[in-house]
Amino acid sequence: MSEQTLSMTSRDAWQPIRSVSKRLGYPLIGLCVLLAFWWLGGYLIASNPDTQAFSGFAPGHALPEAYNLVTSGHLLDTILPSLYRIGMGLLWASLIAVPLGILVGSSPVLRQITGFPFQLLRMVSPLAWMPIAVLAFSTWDGAIVFLIFMAAIWPILFSTAFAVQRIDPMYFKVARNFGASPLASLRRLILPAVAPDILAGFRLALGIAWVVLVPAEYLGVTSGLGYAINDARDILAYDLLAALVLIIGVIGYILDSLIVTFIRYLGWQNSDG
C-alpha cells in the first residue's frame, strides 16, 4: 500500500471524530462563555456589600441546588403541572389556529376582513388577558391554559395562512380538473404543503408560550415552575431561584430541540435550525 493511500485512509478514519468535534465544539465554547459571565456576575454580586444577600445567584450555589432538585425527585412534581398546562394551551391553539389559518389563507375576502382585528389582537400581550382569564374560568389551571393559548395561537395561525397563500394556484386548478373534492384537496394538497410551516409556527409558539408560562403561574396555583420561583423568592432562597431559572432554560431548550429533530426527521428542514 502506497504512502498516499495510507495518508488518505488515516484522514478518513479521523473524519467522524472531526465531525463530532465540530458539532459539539462550538456549543461547548458558547456554554463555557455563558458560565464565565455567570461566574463573573456572581463574583461581582458577592463582592459588593450592598448585594451580598443575593450571592446565591452565583453558579457555585445554584448548580449544587439544581443537582439536589434533580436527584431528590421533587423536581418532577414541579415540572409535570407546567408541562400539562403548556401542552393543553398549545393543543387548543393548534386545533383552532390551523383550520382558521387554512380558511384565511384560502379566501382573499376573509383575509381582508380578519387582517386588522387579528393583527390588533396579536399585538396585545398574552399576560394582559390575565384579569379576563380569571373572571372567565372557574379554575386557575383553566386561566393559565387560556393565557398560554393566547400566546401560542398567533404564530401558528399566521404561519399556516401565509403557507396556504404561497401554494401555486395552478395546483388547485389541476386538482379540480381531476375531480378532486374540497376534502381531498385539503388532505392531499393543502396539508402536505403547509405542514412544514405549521411546525415552524408551532416551534415559535412553544418559545413564546414557555416564556409566558412562568408569570402566568404566579396566579393562585400551588404547583408548577412559576409557583416554585415565586415561592423561592418569598423565602429569599436565591440559590433555589437561580437553579429553577437554569432548569427552565434547559427544559425549554430540550422541547425546542425535540421539535427541530422532528422537522428534520420528516425531511422538511436541512438547515442548522
Give the three-class secondary structure for 123.
Answer: coil
Residues 133 and 42 in one domain: no
- Reported confidence tier of residue 97, pLDDT bands at 50, 70, 90: very high
Q: What is the average pLDDT across 76-99?
A: 92
Residue 271 inside a domain? The answer is no
Residues 107 and 128 in one domain: yes
Residues 188 and 208 in one domain: yes
**What element of type H or E holds 132?**
helix 130-136
39 Cβ contact list (under 8 Å, min separation 6): 58, 59, 60
Residue among 190, 187, 184 at smallest CA distance from 171: 190
Domain count, the chain: 2
Q: 165 near 197, Cβ under 8 Å? A: no
pLDDT at site 82: 92
Write out the three cell numbers for 207.
418559545
Domain that holds residue 239: 59-265
- If phi over 0 gives left and psi between -120 and 50 gives alpha, with beta otherwise, what is residue 103? alpha
Give the three-class secondary structure for 273.
Answer: coil
Give the three-class secondary structure for 42.
Answer: helix
Residue 273 inside a domain? The answer is no
Residues 70 and 161 in one domain: yes
Residues 68 and 131 in one domain: yes
pLDDT at site 31: 81
Residue 242 inside a domain? The answer is yes
Residues 65 and 20 in one domain: no
Residue 156 inside a domain? The answer is yes
Residues 34 and 95 in one domain: no
Residues 21 and 123 in one domain: no
pLDDT tens string 140-171: 889 999 999 999 999 999 999 988 888 777 76
Q: 67 near 246, Cβ under 8 Å? A: no
- E strands, the chain, are none
Residues 29 and 159 in one domain: no
For position 200, which CATH number holds? Answer: 1.10.3720.10
Residues 205 and 122 in one domain: yes
Residue 151 inside a domain? The answer is yes
Residue 54 inside a domain? The answer is no
Q: What is the average pLDDT across 57-77?
A: 83
pLDDT at site 6: 47
Q: How far is residue 208's CA from residue 198's CA, in Å, rounded to a whole number?
A: 15
Q: What is the average pLDDT across 135-144?
A: 89
Residues 74 and 156 in one domain: yes
Write out the three cell numbers for 259.
421539535
Higher-scoring residue by pLDDT: 23, 127: 127
Residues 31 and 132 in one domain: no
Residue 13 inside a domain? The answer is yes
Residue 4 has pLDDT above 60, yes or no: no
Q: How far is residue 203's CA from residue 209's CA, in Å, rounded to a whole number?
A: 10
How many CB atoms sit inside 10 A of residue 61's CB?
Answer: 19
pTM, rounded to two decimals: 0.80
**What element of type H or E holds 166?**
none
Residue 245 inside a domain? The answer is yes
